[in-house]
Chains A and B, each alone.
Chain A
Amino acid sequence: MLASIGGLLVARLFDAIVPLFMKTAIDSLADPDIEPTLLVPVLSILGIVATRFLIYVFSQRALRRLSISVSYDLRKRLFNHVQFQGAHFFNRFGTGDLMSRAVNDVSMVRMVVSFGAVTILTTVFTLITGLYFMIMLSPSLTFWVVLPLPLVGVAGFGMARALFPYYMDRQEAMAEVTAFTQENLNGIRTVQAMAQEEKEIDRFRDVSTHYAQTVYRVNRYQALMNVVMGFISTASTVIVIFYGGALVLRGEITLGTFMAFFSYLMMVAWPVRMIGMSITMFTAAAAGTERIFEILDYEPEVDDASTKTVTTELRGRIEFRNLVYSHPGAPRPTIDGATFNIEPGETIAFMGRVGSGKSTLLNAIVRLVDTPAGMVFLDGHDIHDFPLHQLRGAVTLVPQDPFLFSMTLRDNLTYDDLSRGDELIWEAAEAAAFADPLRRQLAEGLDTMVGERGVTLSGGQKQRATLTRGMVRDAKVLLLDDCFSSVDTETEERILRGLRRMRGGKTTMLISHRVSTARHADRIFVIDGGRFKESGTHQELIARGGYYADLAAVQSNQDEDRERKARLLRDLDSEISAVPMPEAAKL
């Protein structure tokens, strides 16, 4: 690294020597008293060029490799760091935000490393060498020539700073164009159904015109900057002509010196201009670096420091001891004193409306929501005493939102352990009622590619696929967060039967809105406002005549109707045909 910077500095030094040899050649030609010498200067120039070539190639290569390595390293650290973050982190930094840091800010830092730092270093050196040789040739001419240079630096710095807001405007306008297009196309059906296309095109015209204006302003300012800087730099050139020319006429300097000054002036004026601009660039890059370190310095909220490993065979007993938990910034606790035991092999259903705290309860067990120690226990051990991988291996949560990666279904279904055999997958798929769609609707079965470059699954198919992914792990404890919402009652029945088959002797906890699902559970908990309202078996709760009983009354008619309807339609030999629109629209 130091060697390569050193190399670059030497290369600059060589750059500075070339005009000296030119001077020798010119002087020997201009002055009839001197014997013309061409061979030495020409050979020297060629020698310098060759040496410089080698040094330059090696140094530049090393420096640019460094900048590539820096961005490689930053990306790697960002990605690794993000893998272990918890819910708060992802609530604070959205996917788009994180992506933009990993892409834009990293490349900004890279640019500064490769260009900024090295450029500043070498330009300063170039400046110094240039000045040294100029002073050596003619101190008085140097004085006058250098006089306007500080002005160049100041103007460069000032104008580059003034450019910044224009630049920001442009970035914002571009973001606006992107956001507008994206949103409009995502909602295109709504726009078309409401016949708003022409109005949207008009709005886009405004957005697009605004963007064009901001780009124009940036470029106009940059062009202006070039003109102004050009004028100021010219002052030095003019001084060389007037004063330097006069010195030549008076015989105080030679013609070669005069010409060498032109070359050195270029060497000196350019760095001065660059320094002003580099400072501005550094300010922008500093912001980028800050944004990257904001992520890297974020302490993972889930502390996986446990070195203990619980070695005894896990049985799947879950215990909550007066758990109180608040989401950050929430006015009241999400879970307000949850105490309960779940014995191995039990099936428990949680009911309650949106926001009652059901999901938080399940998330707490796998530490997606990190609760304080001493409140949640698995087989009598605090869940914080398990290494995360052991805890999450023993307890499988199937989240509410069915998410599949763009890979084959096989890889998706065995996401945690790719070595699982197809037999196990099919067994789980049967239980999750996913085997049928796998066989009949997805032509390539387990090899079907899903996601962007593959097949788009329907909501029901996705849900069943993620259920399969959860079931295939055959964990001691299975947590299902409202996983039947997109399947019809008949399929749900089949899944419940499958669950009974596969989950014998193992703990299962599920969230549902439907009484028809919950009634199959050993015990039912009704949660509201983070508190338990009711608990007991289906019969007990119906007898109690509370919320659950009311819900059952409201739903039973609808549900039985649905069931009837389903049965009826089965008799009518229903087959599902493809309707592309609503599914394609979901993404």
Chain B
Amino acid sequence: MSENAIQAPGPSRNYSAFDAELTHQALNVRLFVRLLGWLKPYLITLFVSIAFVVMAALSQVLMPILTSVVIIDTILVPTTIASDAPDYGLLALVDWIQSTYALEALSAAGLVYVTVLVGQSLLSFAHQLTLYSCSLKALRDLRIDLFAALERKPASFFDHVGVGRVMTRVTNDVENLFQLLTGFGGLAGEFVPFFVALFAMLAISGSLTGVVLVALPVAAIATIAFRIAMRKIFRFIRDSVSALNQYMQEDLVGIDVVQLSGREKQNIEEYGTHNRANRGYEFRAINFEVLYDTFNMSLGSVVTGGIVWFGGGQVIQQDISLGSMILFTSLVQMMIMPIVSLGQQFNVLFRSMASGERIFQALDWDEQLHEPDEPTVMEGRLRGKVEFRHAHFGYYQGEEILKDVSFSIEPGEKLAIVGPTGSGKSTIIRLLVRFYDIDDNMVFVDDVDVNKIHSRDLRERVGVVLQDFHIFSGTVCDNITLNNPDITRERAEWAARSVNADGFIQELADGYDTQLAERGQNLSQGQRQLLAFARVLAADPEILVLDEATANIDTSTELVVQDAVAKLTEGRTSIVVAHRLQTIQECDRILVLHHGVVEELGTHDELIAKGGIYYTLHELQFQDADVAREVAREDEGSEGRTTDPRWVSTPEDPSDTPDRM
């Protein structure tokens, strides 16, 4: 590892870029091409899908031709005018059916009509299925890749980036791309008829086509003008909606404070301001929308009128047939439609490009732990030796949390680390399990540099109970096994029993199958901690690291927790970041850390003899821990509870859950 590893998680990275609004380029070709990379495994499906839509589009053009050239010009009002309108062999086909099956001309034409229509429906059905299939699969893969990339980001990343904003990339942003892929996949189906119609029209009458071609730029200009006008307003609407929702969300979360401060009226006023702003933008948007929609609707009719006027004149002069003129009015719709759809797609395109940028930014974020090229494989169980050699570390450049920290722990030994807030206690733990990149030859496990061990392997062997252990929504059992199939239910229950958690779990409504809310809101602080202990014990780590929670729990619960800690550390190399003196007492050696410097290290007796910081701390040590235990026990007993006397509260008691009040 290079020497600048220390600075890796520091401010050299601009994390705010991760939150900032991105460029909002309407069309970023590179992005689009990159996105296609995920479609690669499904390219065949995509091509098949496009082939289907092209065929469907071609058959779509056949129907107006059938109606006008075959049915009107040939059957209903036979014309003598040599029609230039292409019939794509339809006349011959109808003739052939007519003579082969001895049908009336009209019936033959109807039959062809039905066949073409059914064929077209089936083709576009097949097109949609294949298109959805390949888009969905590609996006599923993209989503998994994105999730996996986030999942493997180091702790320093999550120190700086909010979970909420990362999360929407996995959910909403990928969702936006679905509209993009299906939208563009379908667009082929709009443009094929456009050109086919254009050719057919040119074949019939160049001058009449001219009339239609005048309308096209008008439609295009209107669409572009509309998009430009809307671009800003859409942005305003988006921003105002998110301001609106954010305001409400925060108000709801802090509703107690709002009510206690008597701010209801003012907040209603402020929310009203956001709400009105949003309504204002929405009103502005619909002015344009209505105008544009109506314009599109009318344009078709105006062009039809033009065709009747000019085309009608040509029909009178016998330049074109009546059927050709009617064909023209049908084909016009086919030409205007794609322009309108393209206009609609712009909106999607716009949104998707921003989403794409956000997704790729997260994927490209190259912050990661440097894993060894050839990781050392540790055979069998670790002996459990841990060593720090002149370790230096800082979260930011120029800051040193740990300064020249050296110590070693022998297999099976229990080490307590004590020191004030910010002295670097928790940092030692984080380095040991490689939450952050560090220089080589600083931290060793069984005499192997941790940088040479794959972080996953290391973390399987070194079990950590963090201060901010997380309870996931799911059953109690799931929370102990963490869905690891290697851990059986029996093992989970054994682990819970071992750390005194069995008592309260049994009292939950469904025991080990009780559903827990996220963050364990239906458990008390002490219960959550015991659950975290059970989780670590079930994983049976070879080295145990425990960051004691500092949170205030009542005294009797604290005793239960301390007893569990003793059981956890039994027979294991253990490091305990201790906040409670009782825990310290049960450790073999004590390390006193201050300002990132190891001030004292030794056994209890040695440090007492030394007469330094620890000696001063110890002066007031407990006289008798057992007395304290007795006190708590008697106290519980006096209330006549029949359950485990050390356990304090049961979750059925609603006032026990840390509710909103």
Contacts and interface: CB of A to CB of B under 8 A. Distances in A.
B268 A56 contact: no
A192 B617 contact: no
A261 to B, nearest CB: 12
A49 B295 CA distance: 10
A326 to B, nearest CB: 9
Contact of A241 (B113, B124, B594, B639): B113
B260 A513 contact: no
A151 interface: no
A445 interface: no
Interface string B252-277: 11111111111110011001100110
Nearest to A452: B162
A230 B294 CA distance: 26
B290 A64 contact: yes
Interface in B493-537: 518-519, 524-525, 535-536
Given A329-B654, A514-B552, 18 more contacts: A46-B305, A64-B290, A99-B249, A177-B170, A184-B151, A186-B519, A195-B455, A220-B128, A226-B121, A230-B121, A331-B653, A392-B260, A405-B250, A469-B257, A555-B555, A574-B594, A579-B427, A586-B468
A82 B252 contact: yes
- What are the nearest 8 A-B pairs in CB distance? A187-B470, A416-B261, A355-B656, A195-B459, A485-B552, A83-B264, A190-B470, A212-B140
A72 B171 contact: no
Given A45-B308, A360-B661, A406 B470 contact: no
Contact of B254 (A224, A400, A403): A403
B106 A204 contact: no
Interface in A44-84: 45-46, 48-50, 52-53, 56-57, 60-61, 64-65, 68-69, 72, 75-76, 79-80, 82-84
Given A219-B132, A242-B110, A582-B467, A189 B305 contact: no
A536 B326 CA distance: 101
A30 B255 contact: no
Interface stretch (B189-197, B312-320, B351-359, B373-381): B312-320
A368 B256 contact: yes
A182 B518 CA distance: 10
Contacts of A29: 312, 315-316, 322, 325
Interface string A386-426: 00110011001101110111100000000110000000000
A379 B348 CA distance: 64
Interface string B47-76: 000000000000000000001000110011
A246 interface: yes
Interface residues of B, number: 177
B466 A98 contact: no
B312 A30 contact: no
A561 B125 contact: no
Contacts of B262: 388-389, 392-393, 416
B106 A577 contact: no
A90 interface: yes
B30 interface: no
A197 B121 contact: no
Nearest to B138: A212
B623 interface: yes
Nearest to A488: B421
24 contacts: A26-B326, A64-B286, A65-B286, A76-B272, A174-B171, A185-B158, A185-B163, A190-B482, A193-B464, A197-B151, A200-B151, A331-B653, A354-B656, A355-B655, A392-B261, A392-B262, A403-B256, A405-B254, A451-B250, A482-B552, A560-B620, A578-B396, A579-B421, A587-B162
Given A25-B308, A212-B136, A485-B551, A353 B430 contact: no
Nearest to A94: B252
Contact of B483 (A49, A203, A366, A529): A203
Contact of A359 (B291, B613, B661): B661
A181 interface: yes
Contacts of B23: none
A231 B536 CA distance: 62
Interface stretch (B83-91, B566-574, B624-632): B624-632
B340 interface: no
Contact of B249 (A95, A178, A192, A230): A95
Interface stretch (A126-134, A315-323, A563-571): A563-571
A538 to B, nearest CB: 17
Give the dominant DSSP class at A's interface.
helix
B126 to A, nearest CB: 9
Interface in A225-245: 226-227, 230-231, 234, 237-238, 241-242, 245
B301 A83 contact: no
A469 B594 CA distance: 33
A586 B67 CA distance: 70
Interface stretch (B142-150, B407-415, B602-610): B142-150
A238 B110 contact: yes
B132 A220 contact: yes
Contact of B660 (A90, A197, A564): A90
Contacts of A26: 322, 326
Give the dominant DSSP class at B's interface.
helix
Nearest to A179: B473
A83 B267 contact: yes
Interface in B636-661: 639, 648-649, 652-656, 658-661
Interface in A23-49: 25-26, 29-30, 36, 38-39, 41-42, 45-46, 48-49
Interface in B367-394: none
B148 A330 contact: no
A251 B652 CA distance: 85
B639 A529 contact: yes
A78 to B, nearest CB: 8
A264 to B, nearest CB: 15
A523 B222 CA distance: 79
B140 to A, nearest CB: 4
Contact of B166 (A185, A220, A368): A185
Contacts of A25: 308, 312
Nearest to B114: A238
A95 to B, nearest CB: 4
Given A49-B302, A49-B305, A553-B627, A208 B140 contact: yes
Nearest to B423: A574
Contact of A223 (B125, B167, B329): B125
B234 interface: no
B322 A199 contact: no
Given A65-B286, A241-B113, A201 B144 contact: yes
B132 A181 contact: no
Contacts of B395: 578-580
Interface in B410-445: 420-423, 426-427, 430, 433, 435
A396 B622 CA distance: 39
A558 interface: yes
Contacts of B301: 18, 45, 48-49
